[in-house]
Chains A and B, each alone.
Chain A
Amino acid sequence: MTPLCYVRAGDRADALARVVNGARCLGGGTNLVDLLRQNVEQASELVDVSRLDGDVRESDGGELFIDAAVTNAALAAHPLVRRRYPVLARALLAGASAQIRNMATVGGNILQRTRCMYFYDVDGARCNKRQPGAGCDAREGFDRYHAILGASDQCVATHPSDMCVALAMLDAVVHLSGPGGDRSVPLTDLHVLPGATPQVETVLQPGELITGVELPPPSDAMVRSDYRKVRDRSSYAFAVVSVAGGLGLAEGRVREARIALGGVAAKPWRARRAEAALIGLAPTPEALLAAIREELADARPLSGNGFKIGLVERTVVAVLTTLAGARA
């Protein structure tokens, strides 16, 4: 860790001013502090935004607005989240450990970085994300946790968040503040695929700050939803793959399908092709399998993660089959 100074933001304007001058935002610190300690990232100033507004509010139109500083634990326990967006509560509770969820914030969770071991090994491994053009040691290395969708020659890392998979499925919108004013971006458009520039992970502009996340009013498929995380141990492990699923049915046929995948790409992967393929069909295991196979048609497994294709297929079918059988 390089020497740095730490300041607590007085208010959002203070935080924004500091960020424009190059400070890094510190939420719960559950990822950034590790990155700093291991010299994956350097910062000369940390501005702590974890004590800025931390509320969850419902608008007149039925949207739910979540401040960026709300902790993962508080959001998972929020009655409106549990009732209207169970997929989000379950995704949050599948993440990390109770201690980490008590610290981690919504804003920080969205911006957490990949857990690729080569990304973290500053001294001993090459990584294009850390050092553009250096090369990628994850390819042909330990790529079990790596991408099968949307990767590039330069980078095969995955986004590790559970929460973001649920947010992607829920059509969450991320609110940003920056020198150019406020704007909002759908979560599914916030993270970008690596392409030739794996060091660029989001569409955030320099000086921009995540201020909150907005969820649309709950649809049937948001209420009838679930999150299933497949992992190597039963807690405190990142997803090998995960599935956020939701179904809205009418007369036994799919009216609305929502599927997002974790652990498969550099961003939470909204499976829109699979969703579209299901509309109007009875949600039989065969139909579900055919739909997810359509989504995975472009999958490109690496040396050690080909098992993820079958795993995603079976998990999606299981999650949606259970939802189809559940009472709305």
Chain B
Amino acid sequence: MTKLQNAIIGGVRAVLGQVPASWLPGGTPDPLIDKRVALGGQQSRIDGPDKVRGAARFAAEVAMEDLLYAAFVHSTIARGRIADLDVSDAEAAPGVALVMTYRNAPRIGVPPPIGLTNLKAAGNHTLPILQDPEIHWNGQVVAVVLAETREQADHAASLVRVRYDAAPARTRFEEGKTSASMPESILVERNRLDKGNAGQKFAQAAVTIDGVYTTPWESHAPIEPHAATIAWRDGKLIVHDATQMIHATAGSFAKVFGLKAEDVHVSSPYVGGGFGAKALWDHQILGVAAAKLAGRPVRVALSRASMHRLIGGRTRTEQRVALAADADGKLTALLHHGYGVKPRHSVCDEGFSLTGRSLYACESFDIVQHNVELDLLANSFMRGPGETPGTFAIECAMDELAHALGMDPIELRRRNAATCDPVSGAPHSQSAMMEAYDLGAARIGWHRRAPRPCTRRDGEWWIGIGCATGTFPFTRMPGTSARITLDANGDAHVASAAQEMGMGTATVQRQHAADRLGLPLERVTVAIGDSRLPFASFAGGSSQTASLAAAISAASGKLAIQLMRLAGNDTPLAGLKPNEIEFAEGGLRSVEDPARHESFASILRRAGRGELSAIGESGAPLEVLKYSMHSTSAIFCELRVSEVTGEIRVDRLVGAFDCGRILNAKTAASQFKGGMIMGLGMALTEETLLDERTGRIMSTSLADYHVPVHLDVPDIDVLWTDIPDPRTPLGARGIGEIGTTGVAAAVANAVFNATGKRVRDLPLTLDKLF
């Protein structure tokens, strides 16, 4: 974001402040907020049986004739250039069809960078891919080997010999801090926030705390490694990908390889976990280029090690948070300064400094974040980007402040809960953070928590309870569209190129479409996961459900008008205006007089139509510029810490969420729990081990990169306020990411309650407890 964009967004916000709410999307609450039949219940995922049976085919399982398998050779230096490249042994190895290096790779462009302004762009970095001998990070691909089997490709890859001229590389965080840059904005927010003279208020405050919190680089570890099965047919490109951004990927392929949009087909019906990782990285581009060069289809399936070297993760941060409060615990100053690694070729902001701008009422703010520009793999999005590290710092600081005040941590939050946006003053669309706290406190049994640390123990184990707030903003993406087709039976078929990473996209939108159209569930189908379907934005930013819901809602409105047109005058509906009818009982009916009804099948039959379809689109999300739209949660943790070993064993997690209305109790609970488990990993074990001497990642397997195992995961209770947001489709806000936020702080705060030891550096490994 540039200064100009800052000014434009600021201007739009100023104008929207004057615009009546009813003119904006969500101006009139969605009638489905209250009129729910299928929505809100426990619906199992419709893709579940196929996945359990192994019938669902993932990207690496798509059968294809004449397939070649790819293996990658990665650079072993962080910066410099290839001096010598010998591929002769690799080319002579059994089964090898192609060794592709910068010398023989097709000339291709840089994928357009992912962003909020170009929905057909998916690039995660701005570097040329295998176009020159330059090395920009340790692990960059320097050669691609294609062979008849994966084993042959791997073997041949080990025979490629590369000699480098290494150049001095910036790989050390502490050194990088000294020349860190300060971006103008973070995502769509102005970076620097200086309001109300925070420095002075901090100096004069009754109670203050001031701490530095650090979070490590984290790598993505979805169960399904990145994979693509790729074919060129008659100049057209077909990619079976594992992606959470189907059209953005297709658009990027078109751009990079100079193709017409209609000549690129991306299919991705199933994704084995996305979390921000399943985007466009070098492996798909290289696979497509290699398939073109070899003239044969190619399968790319990344090894875990290749994933660590090619797929960016959550970046390392160092955050200073200083809080000041009056004697009653009212916040008077919030200072949040920090550093996050963002290589110059990265396009992803880790907006950790945004967290403190929306959560609590406060008299003054002094907030800014800096980019540490190192020669590393581009950082990227990982579940709850920004807020996940941000809530660790802010919410540990709040716990420290509560301790300094001698106040219950929940009470401190109650006294500071924001009633509008604390910075802009914009009204909340809906916010009930303290209701979430009340629900969660009752469930965990907060009254059992000892106010003083080091009070409860069981043998060698200290016992503690902690809490923290989680938060994530509402986002709805423009451009997402959906087609609803009614068939001759009056059944509805929804189609959109939306993404399914296991969260239940089709399941929930089937519930939605059924209720929207007044049909029983079994008369609705939903097709997603293919670029030939109507355009959809990415599954990211917890935006997909709202975006797709808006598109289906818009399509249903168009459908109603078309149906009325077809119905003509020879119908019980004759004479009614669009705002006088509603969908019900498999057709349209009068709002005033339910007896005036005609079914879809009847209207189509009379009109001689076999089917009828309409496409609707999610419009510009102006509501997010007028309202402060954030979900919040209250996370609770009960755990034990061994005084012998320092090992932490989490006994219980409770998450109480205020995310608007919940659309499917079963898939939502699963999403929240999964997010919380990811937060648990961040709290306890996850850390990408970067050797700063070489810029090389050392933790490249699941044995070295520790995600939680089942035994680490306790009973998890999930609750929600279920209070509708009147400004969003279906009254719902996204739930995909908020589960991860706040968890690490809740764990760290519980550790403090148990042991009196304040650990500000993640992960909370046992050595840090002594």
Interface residues of A (CB under 8 A from B): 1-3, 37, 39, 97, 115, 117-118, 120-121, 123-125, 137, 140-142, 144, 230-238, 240, 307, 310-311, 314-315, 317-318
Q: How long is the Cα–Cα vector from A140 to B154 in the complex, in angstroms?
A: 31
Q: Is B696 located at the chain interface by the 8 A CB criterion?
A: yes
Least Cβ distance of A225 to chain B in Å? 18
Least Cβ distance of A65 to chain B in Å? 32
Across the interface, name the chain B residue whose C-beta is closest to A140: B693
Least Cβ distance of A129 to chain B in Å? 16
Q: Is B76 located at the chain interface by the 8 A CB criterion?
A: yes
Across the interface, name the chain B residue whose C-beta is closest to A122: B158
Interface residues of B (CB under 8 A from A): 74, 76, 94, 138, 151, 154-155, 158, 460, 644-647, 649, 684-685, 689, 691, 693-694, 696, 698-701, 703-704, 706, 708-712, 765-767, 770
The answer to whether B696 and A124 touch across the interface, beta carbons within 8 angstroms, is yes
The answer to whether A235 and B158 touch across the interface, beta carbons within 8 angstroms, is no
Q: Which of A37, A117, A310 contacts B689 (CB 8 A)?
A: A117
The answer to whether A318 and B74 touch across the interface, beta carbons within 8 angstroms, is no
The answer to whether A230 and B685 touch across the interface, beta carbons within 8 angstroms, is no
The answer to whether B710 and A235 touch across the interface, beta carbons within 8 angstroms, is yes
Chain A residues near B703: list those with CB within 8 A: 115, 236-238
Least Cβ distance of A310 to chain B in Å? 6
Q: How long is the Cα–Cα vector from A97 to B702 in the complex, in angstroms?
A: 13
Chain B residues near A314: list those with CB within 8 A: 644-645
The answer to whether B694 and A124 touch across the interface, beta carbons within 8 angstroms, is yes
Chain A residues near B698: list those with CB within 8 A: 117-118, 121, 125, 141-142
The answer to whether A117 and B644 touch across the interface, beta carbons within 8 angstroms, is no
The answer to whether B158 and A307 touch across the interface, beta carbons within 8 angstroms, is no
Q: Which of B76, B94, B138, B709 contacts A234 (CB 8 A)?
A: B709
28 contacts between A and B (CB under 8 A): A1-B154, A2-B155, A2-B158, A37-B154, A39-B158, A115-B703, A117-B689, A120-B701, A124-B694, A124-B696, A137-B691, A137-B693, A141-B693, A142-B691, A142-B698, A230-B645, A230-B766, A234-B647, A234-B649, A234-B711, A235-B711, A236-B709, A237-B706, A238-B703, A307-B767, A307-B770, A311-B645, A314-B644
The answer to whether B691 and A315 touch across the interface, beta carbons within 8 angstroms, is no
Least Cβ distance of B92 to chain A in Å? 13
Least Cβ distance of B724 to chain A in Å? 40
Chain A residues near B712: list those with CB within 8 A: 233-235
Chain B residues near A140: list those with CB within 8 A: 693
Least Cβ distance of A28 to chain B in Å? 16
Least Cβ distance of B261 to chain A in Å? 39
Least Cβ distance of B705 to chain A in Å? 10
Q: How long is the Cα–Cα vector from A318 to B646 in the complex, in angstroms?
A: 13
Give the top 4 A-B pairs by smallest Cβ distance, nearest first. Answer: A234-B711, A307-B767, A117-B698, A124-B76
Least Cβ distance of A258 to chain B in Å? 20
Chain A residues near B76: list those with CB within 8 A: 123-124
The answer to whether A232 and B706 touch across the interface, beta carbons within 8 angstroms, is yes
Q: How long is the Cα–Cα vector from A307 to B154 in the complex, in angstroms?
A: 39
Least Cβ distance of B316 to chain A in Å? 15
Q: How long is the Cα–Cα vector from A138 to B591 in the complex, in angstroms?
A: 74
The answer to whether A310 and B770 touch across the interface, beta carbons within 8 angstroms, is yes
The answer to whether residues A233 and B155 also contact, given A124-B76, A307-B770 and a CB cut-off of 8 A, is no
Q: Which of A121, A125, A235, A238 has the most CB of B within 10 A?
A: A121
Given A115-B704, A117-B698, A235-B711, 16 additional A-B pairs, CB 8 A: A3-B94, A39-B158, A97-B709, A115-B703, A123-B74, A137-B693, A141-B693, A142-B689, A142-B698, A233-B684, A233-B685, A234-B647, A307-B767, A311-B766, A311-B770, A315-B645
Q: How long is the Cα–Cα vector from A124 to B155 in the complex, in angstroms?
A: 17
Across the interface, name the chain B residue whose C-beta is closest to A314: B644
Across the interface, name the chain A residue whose C-beta is closest to B709: A235
Least Cβ distance of B711 to chain A in Å? 4
The answer to whether residues A125 and B767 also contact, given A311-B646, A314-B645 and a CB cut-off of 8 A, is no
Chain A residues near B766: list those with CB within 8 A: 230, 232, 240, 311
